[in-house]
Chains A and B, each alone.
Chain A
Amino acid sequence: MAAPCRRMAARSLFHFLSFSRTAGGNSGFRQFSSTSVHRATLQTKSVTEKASSPWTLMAAVCLQRLPVISADCGPIERKFRDMMLQLELEKSLLSDHELRLLEDAERMSRKQADDYDSDEEDERGDQEIVLAQDLEDSWEQKLKSFQPALRVTADADKDLTSLERCLADSLLLVAEQQVGGEKLWLLPQTQWQEGETLRQTAERALASLPAAGFKATFLGNAPCGVYKYKLPKAARTESSVGTKVFFFKAILSDSGPPAAPNAPFLWVKKNELQRYLKPAYVMKVDRFILDL
């Protein structure tokens, strides 16, 4: 844990940003420190009449695109599937189609025999002309004439901003947002405002993403995780000790118009999260993202 902190401290610059949104807001200075894990907040919480807690509240949305195609089978799954198909075939009875195939084969062999007498054959008229094998062939032809869409497209997989990548896995939306002096990759978040529930804040966070028309179904009113961090001691005031970020889960229902190529968000799989998010953040977020 110490190593990444040092790396973070070395990377970060001491930017001092003062920002006040509301009329009665305090301006504060934030900075990175190496003693504990910190991330700067964008705005300070304004002092209100009932400011009993020194924590700034923010809500973030964990937007997931669920898998579109079934995942490939692992080796043991493939072996087991083949074995089950074999077992089922062995334990089954002959179907109508198979009986018909056998009868046709028998009739063909009788026709080709030297002592063939067509009068002995039961007259079935048209049924003799259409053999079961012909039916099978015509079905094969029909199947071949249908071209399904490709399961895996290597180009789409590499493009991190496209929604069509990795159709077999569930993807998470990660946005680059201004936090303190830095632009960081994190789950889209925004500050809580008076008079709204945290879920509404999360919905606002999703809607306020630049150039994105995502339609999502939020799963319930309760947050699924929390990430809290304290501000460096120098920047702490009486009214703001740190920030608590509450995460809300949502499932993508409609992607809307395709986003511009330079849009500051990515769709990443769970195992790619570490590349973009901070380690402590990832630790907390990992827990509630199920990648089964």
Chain B
Amino acid sequence: MSVTLSRCLCRVFSRQTAPSSFLLGEHHHTVQSPWFAPVMTLKTSAPLRAEPKKKKKVDPRREQMLRERMRKKLKKLEKVPPELIPIEDLITPAKCLDETRERSAPRLSFEESEGRALLLKEWCRYKQEQHFAEVEAVELALEAQREALEELKLESEELYQAALKPDPLLFPFTHKGPAYTPPKTKYEAPDGKYNNITKVYTQ
């Protein structure tokens, strides 16, 4: 009867200690009480297991605290607005403010300054004429095109529709503009080596 009792007790205690049940199961016929555990089950008995658990609780807590502190610091740093990239074109370089570089201003005679003023006015008139001529030429060309499209419409509707469609292959269109001298045939240009010293800013 005591054996059966002990067996019941063992079974009860083995249910409580579930992970090591298979071990206990092997030895339950020898175990008399859980408090006199055999050596094999030392590591898995309840009181012994309790100690390493305490260590685990402290360590993760400490690590978590560290991580939270780091995150808070990062957030504080991130809240600061990023430094603006300076626009180098708008900053007058110190070289230009150097007084030793100033040229002595020449004295202009009255005729000279008058001549300059009159030349400026002539130039203004010349450019205005040029501009009007350009505008007129463009208007004429547009008028010619409008007439052409009208005539085409009278001819056939489908050709007219085909003419109105935009041409997707036209753009991007590039054309090298005129230089001062025409290109030389069979000219080998020398290698242009250069050191790129542009400053690249990152935010």
Q: Which residue of A lies closest to B139 (CB)?
A: A287
Report yes or no: B155 in contact with A290, Cβ–Cβ below 8 A: no
Taking A76-B122, A150-B181, A288-B140 as known contacts, 15 extra A-B pairs with beta carbons closer than 8 A to each other, sorted by chain A number, are: A53-B154, A66-B175, A67-B178, A69-B181, A80-B119, A83-B119, A151-B181, A197-B159, A220-B170, A221-B162, A221-B167, A222-B145, A222-B163, A226-B152, A290-B137
- How far does the Cβ of A230 sit from chain B's closest Cβ, in whole Å? 13
Report yes or no: A246 in contact with B126, Cβ–Cβ below 8 A: no
Which residues of B, 64-106, contact A by the 8 Å Cβ criterion? 96, 98, 100-103, 105-106
Report yes or no: A94 in contact with B148, Cβ–Cβ below 8 A: no
A292–B140 alpha-carbon span in the complex (Å): 13
A246–B143 alpha-carbon span in the complex (Å): 14
Q: Does A236 sit at the interface, judged by CB under 8 A?
A: no
Report yes or no: B101 in contact with A288, Cβ–Cβ below 8 A: no
Report yes or no: A93 in contact with B103, Cβ–Cβ below 8 A: yes
Chain A residues with Cβ below 8 Å from B145 are: 222-225, 288
A292–B96 alpha-carbon span in the complex (Å): 40
Q: Which residue of A lies closest to B173 (CB)?
A: A217
Report yes or no: B101 in contact with A93, Cβ–Cβ below 8 A: yes
Which residues of A, 46-88, contact B by the 8 Å Cβ criterion? 53, 55, 57, 66-71, 76-77, 79-80, 83, 87
Can you give 10 A-B contacts (C-beta < 8 A)? A66-B175, A80-B119, A83-B116, A83-B119, A93-B96, A168-B178, A217-B173, A223-B152, A223-B163, A288-B141
- How far does the Cβ of B130 sit from chain A's closest Cβ, in whole Å? 8
Q: Which residue of A lies closest to B140 (CB)?
A: A287
Which residues of B, 128-167, contact A by the 8 Å Cβ criterion? 133-134, 137-138, 140-141, 143-145, 147-149, 151-152, 154-156, 159, 162-167
- How far does the Cβ of B28 sit from chain A's closest Cβ, in whole Å? 95
Chain B interface, DSSP helix/strand/loop, else mixed: helix
Q: Out of B123, B162, B182, B184, which one reaches A197, CB within 8 Å? A: B162
Q: Does B180 sit at the interface, judged by CB under 8 A?
A: yes
- How far does the Cβ of B107 sit from chain A's closest Cβ, in whole Å? 11
A69–B177 alpha-carbon span in the complex (Å): 8
Q: Does A244 sit at the interface, judged by CB under 8 A?
A: yes
Chain A residues with Cβ below 8 Å from B96 are: 93
Chain B residues with Cβ below 8 Å from A55 are: 155
Query: CB-defined interface of A210-246 with B at 8 Å, one 1/0 digit per residue?
Result: 0000000111111111101000000000000000101
